A and B are shown apart, each in its own frame.
Chain A
Amino acid sequence: MSLFSKQNMEALKTPLGMNNPVTVQVLGICSALAVTAQLKPAIVMGLSVTIIVAMANVIISLLRNTIPNRIRIIVQLVVVAALVTIVSEILKAFAYDVSVELSVYIGLIITNCILMGRLEAFAMANGPWPSFLDGIGNGLGYAKILVIVAFLRELLGSGCLFGYQVIPQWCYEHGYINNGLMLMPPAALIIVGCIIWYQRARHTELQEEQN
């Protein structure tokens, strides 16, 4: 089978759109609400999850025939926990500010449903290369939603992007006020809801049949 066969590309691409882990499977919502008040931590979080899902998928896929079925969840957890610890240490070493901002949420990637979901649903049944693509796809699908949400929240909530003020000062002088609600987690929930609404309105095949 070729490296970029149709099936492999699908594993990479569908999580970005029609099978997005956040908007279609509604997984990983907790961290999507917590780390999206600003763009920078959201991007770092998205990349961290992407790397961890991809690596964990590859490792579990390599081990999949030797893992006894009854303890597979523990094995998966150990792999994920090891990877999360490595990423967390790297962030602390090279991007200390961001790791402080993200605080516990890097550690909590272990509990991110997207990870366990992909390991159980994909890596346990597929080879390393498709698993790698699947991990990259799901990680980026997650990161994509995080970036959209963080973009809107940072722009409307603090008038900035990446910490730089983008809403001109004269707006504030004429009575514009930043929307404080955008800095609170409920705003992220509303924005994610709007993205889901938009996606399901455009792709009617995502809608459940009405009974």
Chain B
Amino acid sequence: MGLRQLVDKIKPNFEKGGKLHAFRSVFGGFETFLFVPNHTAKSGSNIHDCFDSKRMMIMVCLALVPALLFGMYNVGYQHYLAAGMLEAATFMQVFGYGFLAVLPKIIVSYLVGLGIEFTVAQWKGEEIHEGFLVSGLIIPMIVPVGTPLWIIAVATAFAVIFAKEIYGGTGMNIFNVALVTRAFIFFAYPSVISGDAVWVADQAILGLGADIDGYTAATALGVAATSGAAPAWDMNMVWGLIPGSIGETSVVAIGLGALILLGTGVASWKTMLSVFVGGGLMAWVFNLCGSADNAVAMMPWYQHLALGGFCFGAVFMATDPVTSCRTECGKYIYGFLIGVVAIIIRVLNPGYPEGMMLAILLMNLFAPLIDYYVYQSNVSKRAKRAANSK
């Protein structure tokens, strides 16, 4: 029996009068997840292709997979390196360790986030929205491997409720939900997301790896902010075999994701490009006129772009279609300012070695305003043209 037949067979149970009617939104959510819905608009002209938001979200998830797989490998790699067992370990051991370390975080973030989404949808009698599909995968990728599961659960619950549901659910949020989760952890539990003890896993998992006590390794940006000397340029900063948040280290893996997003037209190249331009330009300005004592200011622009969450933020979070600018001209301004602000925070605020999260959240706030002015300038331009042609 095909999947379609199975779905059709159990469908009557969820329709009005069926015994499982109360769970109709759960059923609807899964049905439209598996198959493109076939109902059509009843009035007005409404033409669109089959590429609905569920298909779009799945594309983003696919694009995240390279960075996620690499992140898992890197978690294992950093652990075995720290334990001094890297030579003896096979690829499967290294990857398996990372897989086991990351998987619980993914499960917790999905369970908590989808649990809240399903409950709210059921309670309000609405359809289940698919927005959390992407956020739930991004959340475990932007935290250090040492973040406790209960903290991820608390932060995810906070973000889904306060950054999304109270604004009206998927598509209505002002701030990127995954970033609000990270910001919550950052401000509520700073000890698990900054410093030098959380970036490398230090426990054996199911017989893989070894317990290493008190191992510390700072991220490259952390080193630059605290020690006063930026680490030298190293190709691993591009490949990604450095300590950092799980999915954020590899420029190459994120680049693969970016190709998928751009190739399928899900993300805007305008936003993505202008983030890099803004960041590079600002870093170059600091190179020219920053104080020589500030190691972060003296870091070359390509190193700024490769390190920390810059690439990940630019590719996967600045381009979030809900929280970024909608107007084409606005996208350039929005992206450019994200890059600029991120580098300014990195360089000028020693308390925050990484500025990408705060930069994107700040510009999320301004995105509607940018759109408004782009819109208004177009309106006045056309009004002027109409007046002239009379």
Contacts and interface: CB of A to CB of B under 8 A. Distances in A.
Contact of A177 (B162, B166, B189): B189
B14 to A, nearest CB: 28
B69 interface: no
A133 interface: no
Contacts of B191: 177
A180 B162 contact: no
Interface in B189-224: 189-192
A181 interface: yes
A85 interface: no
A190 interface: yes
A182 interface: yes
A207 B190 CA distance: 38
B125 to A, nearest CB: 17
A175 B148 contact: yes
Interface in A164-185: 175, 177, 179-182, 184
B184 interface: yes
Contacts of B189: 177, 179-180
- Give the interface size class of chain A: under 10
Given A177-B151, A180-B187, A180-B188, 6 more contacts: A175-B148, A177-B189, A179-B189, A181-B184, A190-B162, A197-B166
A175 B187 contact: no
A179 B186 CA distance: 10
B373 interface: no
B167 interface: no
B150 interface: yes
Interface of B: 148, 150-151, 162, 166, 184, 187-192
Nearest to A181: B188
B192 A177 contact: yes
Contacts of B192: 177
Nearest to A175: B148
A175 B187 CA distance: 17
Contacts of A184: 187
Q: List the 8 closest pairs (A to B, CB-CB), nearest first.
A: A181-B188, A179-B188, A181-B187, A177-B189, A180-B188, A175-B148, A180-B190, A180-B187
B100 to A, nearest CB: 19
19 contacts: A175-B148, A175-B150, A177-B151, A177-B189, A177-B191, A177-B192, A179-B188, A179-B189, A180-B187, A180-B188, A180-B189, A180-B190, A181-B184, A181-B187, A181-B188, A182-B188, A184-B187, A190-B162, A197-B166
Nearest to A190: B162
Contacts of B166: 197
B163 to A, nearest CB: 11
Nearest to A182: B188
B212 to A, nearest CB: 18
Contacts of A175: 148, 150
Contacts of A180: 187-190
Nearest to B189: A177
A182 B187 CA distance: 9
A179 B192 CA distance: 11
A195 to B, nearest CB: 14
A83 to B, nearest CB: 38
Nearest to B192: A177
A187 to B, nearest CB: 9
A151 to B, nearest CB: 18
A158 to B, nearest CB: 13
A152 to B, nearest CB: 14
A190 B188 CA distance: 13
Interface in A183-211: 184, 190, 197
